[in-house]
Amino acid sequence: MAFDKVELKDIEVWDGNFAASQALRQCQIDVVAAYPITPSTPIVEGYGNMKANNQIEGEFVMVESEHAAMSGCIGAAAAGGRVATATSSQGYALMVETLYQASGMRLPIVLNVVNRALAAPLNVNGDHSDMYLGRDSGWIQLDAYCPQDAYDLNFIAFKVAEDHDIRLPAMVHQDGFMTSHTAQGVHTLDDDTAYGFVGDFQPMNDMLDFEHPVTHGVQTEEDWHFEHKARQHNDLMTKVLPKIQTAFDDFEKISGRKYNLVEKYDMDDADVAVVCMGTSVETAREVAGEMRAKGIKAGVVGIRVVRPFPFFEIAEALKEVKAIAALDRSSPNGAPGMLFNEIAGALFNTDTKALLSGYVYGLGGRDLTKKHLVDLYTELQANVDAGKVTTQLQQFIGVRGPKLSFL
């Protein structure tokens, strides 16, 4: 029985979760294997409802855990299907073992990750702890700032992941509750245009191609393991960024919406800049405009692609800046934050004299307020005026009690 098409308005009021589930519907997934966890549950719940209403032709499989969900996705992808699911936090942590299996077997699964704090203590609200946990798992990682991005980036994820030159799984991240449960106007694509962009799924090395038998999940010890990781997987990752940029350019042609590996706002003449991800990008943009009205040349750099990390694009975006704040929404637990470290690495062999500071913020859903950012930009300008970092190199912002630093 054919599935029923859905007529969408040019602009729909969707939260990030529903935007993601609609994108999955339009991509015509063969298998979604899922286990619910807050705050990502509405993605698979919405998808299951569409299946019940005959709007989806593929299979929706309910399993007993998030580990089983990704295991089911791995099996379906290895068999030659277009596959997706969603998770958050502890469920993501339970998936970690299987994330490495999926990337190592080059299975182009798309995983929507609604970012949430990791226990303990238990917390259901958003930060980037789970995103950081999976950054070395061999998956492509894209970051949404709002529901529109959560919708659009799913199409990009399938387009890049399924490219036969790449064939790596991809994650689409969005901030728990702040994006996933916040409704905004989302510009839509009609079903035919959306599916036409992604295209028909073209299997590669699938187990059900009996004329060309393959083996998945092989074991390699010291004889070939190093070569697999260094030559195959790393070489594939070097090809990903150009493929993503091409997909961004092609998507702009059908949607009018432009995406970049690194998003720059007010950076042409910026003296001070904040580098951040997720919903914080939009807040920082608003504050940067207000700081400019006060005479501080403030800018914002948003990270759109987390993995592979766009080192050269970051260095280019920040080459004229005098003071930089790296905002990490995950506790480093004894080391500088991931963004701080990677920005430092991107700038190390350049001619920049920029002063780099690290800030940890927003853990467990704590708000990043405009006042926090006003104070932060003011600190950065003070660093520029003094010619040195005038505060702690690494500090927490927004935490109650005396000012807290860790480096």
Give me the half-sphere count of Cα atoms (radius 13 Å) on the Cβ side of residue 1: 7
User: What ranges in 59-175 are assigned the alpha helix state H?
Assistant: 66-78, 89-104, 129-133, 147-161
pLDDT, position 241: 97
Edge-first strand listing for the sheet containing 140-143? 59-62, 31-34, 83-87, 110-115, 170-175, 140-143, 305-307
- In angstroms, the CA 325 to CA 339 distance is 10
- CA 300 → CA 73, 289, 356, 377, distances in Å? 37, 10, 14, 11
pLDDT in tens, 140-187: 999 999 999 999 999 999 999 999 999 999 999 999 999 999 999 999
CA 225 to chain CA mean position, Å = 28
Q: How far apart are CA 402 and CA 407, in angstroms?
A: 15
Whether 11-255 shares its CATH topology with 262-396 is answered: yes
Which residues, at least 6 apart from 211, have a Cβ–Cβ distance to it below 8 Å?
Answer: none
Predicted pLDDT at 229:
87
What's the predicted TM-score (pTM) here? 0.97
Backbone angles phi, psi at 365, to 5 degrees: 90, 5
Q: Do 87 and 37 form a contact (C-beta atoms < 8 A)? A: yes
pLDDT tops 70 at residue 1: no
Asked if residue 285 has pLDDT above 70, the reply is yes
- pLDDT confidence of residue 192: 96
Q: Is the pLDDT of residue 280 over 60?
A: yes
Could you read off the pLDDT of 198-231 as tens digits, one per residue?
A: 999 999 999 988 899 998 888 999 888 999 888 8
**If one looks up domain 11-255 in CATH, what number appears?**
3.40.50.970
Res. 298: pLDDT tops 80: yes
pLDDT at site 407: 65
Q: What is the pLDDT of residue 82?
A: 98
Which pLDDT score is estimated for 333? Answer: 86
Q: How confident is the model at residue 335 (pLDDT cuts 50, 70, 90)?
A: confident
Predicted local distance difference test score (pLDDT) of residue 71: 98
Domain segments of the chain: what residues?
11-255, 262-396
Region 265-273: mean pLDDT is 98
pLDDT at 190: 97
Confidence band, pLDDT 50/70/90 cuts, at residue 132: very high
pLDDT-based confidence at 233, cuts 50/70/90? confident
Percent of the chain with pLDDT over 90: 88
Least confident of 17-26, 31-40, 232-241, 323-332: 232-241
Residue 144: asked if its preceding bond is cis (omega within 30°), the reply is no
* Domain 262-396 indexed as CATH 3.80.10.10: no
Mean pLDDT of the chain: 95
CB 286: neighbour CB atoms within 10 A?
12
pLDDT in tens, 54-63: 999 999 999 9
Cα separation, 379 vs 83, in Å, equals 46
37: three-class secondary structure by DSSP: coil
Rounded to an integer, the average pLDDT of 257-262 is 98
